[in-house]
Amino acid sequence: MKSSTAGLALLAATVTGLGLTACGSDNNTGPSTTGAAAGASSSAQCGGKNTLTAEGSTAQQNAIAVFNQAWVKECPGKNLSYNPTGSGAGREQFIAGHVDFAGSDSPLSDAQVPTAADRCGGGNPAWHLPLVFGPVSMAYHLDGVDHLVLNADVLARIFSGAITTWNDPALAALNPGVELPAAPITPIYRSDSSGTTDNFQKYLSAAAPQTWTKGEGSEFQGGVGEGAQKSAGVVQAVQSTPGAIGYVEKGFADQADLRSAMIDSGAGVVAATDEAAGVAIQSANFVSEDSNDMRLDLRSLYGTKQAAAYPLVLVTYEIVCSKGYDPDTSAAVKSFLKVASTSGQDGLADAGYVRLPDQLKRRLSVAIDAIQ
């Protein structure tokens, strides 16, 4: 993932089975031959319809491209058309029955839970399956500063307007020996309804509760800075604005060769790497330990002070019906998710994401098998 911002701009609205570039159109479909008839060689069940539709999180669109390529390989003729419009839009389109499942960086809201159950055959609950994890980069544009250390308290003050210049004493204390300029800070936030925003604000609430009092949710609450649409928009805004800092998935920051700040949670400075995010993921707990609805309680993760853990991690879900699909759709959804959670994990590191821990894969397998 070494392409430029121009490469990011080439990411089109859908992901097709043609490769990892996430390019395509809403009209692209796979061949008419089913995977079974084409002689798929793996143990994946390749039944059901050839084309699935999904919509939502821009954070996971590159991971979806990896999963789709693996699905096409194991089940020739299959294809997922994924529209990366943002988590909020994805949840709405799923509830409206316009797509087979949603990709979302945030779970359904309390108000959406009953309407999602209505969509799933009249009372069947929707399940949240955590399939994609990755570090969120604090990408910055500060000429001459190759290494920058932040913590949750300073981030909370930057994104609420309490710290406004790069040579602020709080920043200087975290970066001894670094010549920070007396330049204004421009926070860049997601202006669309974004699960990345929700996760970022939950991190600030958990890790800096005395400083971040603005609240949480998919809409940015800080009240300062400049807004940008979608992950690619945040990247472009940071690139074009000297003194800017924005939260965006590490894969997108890497694509654009943006610098990413390190975070000190109290146990040492940690860079935004897949390995460090993986250490933090081990701290996450499930809301319910005995349910196939696998929503995570992320406060334990975001508040971790474990050494070598990078705590600002994005968790993205596939939101699916537990029951209520027609048989062709159910079989295809299960096929895609099974491949995504197994062989589809192999290419995630190169795309800036973290492979699922084995214990999580085992629980996902049980939930996927239970979909009807």
Q: Residue range 262-270: average pLDDT? A: 95
Going by their DSSP bridges, the two strands 262-264 and 51-56 should be labelled as unpaired
Short-list 46, 124, 55, 118, CA closest to 78: 46
292 to each of 73, 127, 364, how far by Cα in Å?
A: 28, 7, 8
Per residue in 194-203, pLDDT (tens digit) is 888 999 999 9
pLDDT tier for residue 229 given thresholds of 50, 70 and 90? very high
| Residue ranges of domains in the chain, CATH in brackets | 5-134+319-370 (3.40.190.10), 136-280 (3.40.190.10)
Residues forming beta bridges with residue 260, ordered by sequence position? 139
322 to each of 69, 83, 116, 117, 334, how far by Cα in Å?
A: 25, 22, 11, 9, 11
pLDDT tier for residue 299 given thresholds of 50, 70 and 90? confident
Contact 313, 274 (CB under 8 A): no
Residue 223 backbone zone (phi > 0: left; psi -120 to 50: alpha; other: beta): left
pTM: 0.76
The helix/strand/coil state of 85 is coil
Length of the chain: 372
Which residues are CB-neighbours of 134 under 8 A, at least 6 positions away? 59, 63, 249, 250, 251, 274, 277, 313, 314, 352, 353, 354
Per residue in 41-83, pLDDT (tens digit) is 344 589 999 999 999 998 899 999 999 999 999 999 999 999 9
pLDDT at residue number 274: 86
Per residue in 135-173, pLDDT (tens digit) is 999 999 999 999 999 999 999 999 999 999 999 999 999
pLDDT at residue number 44: 59
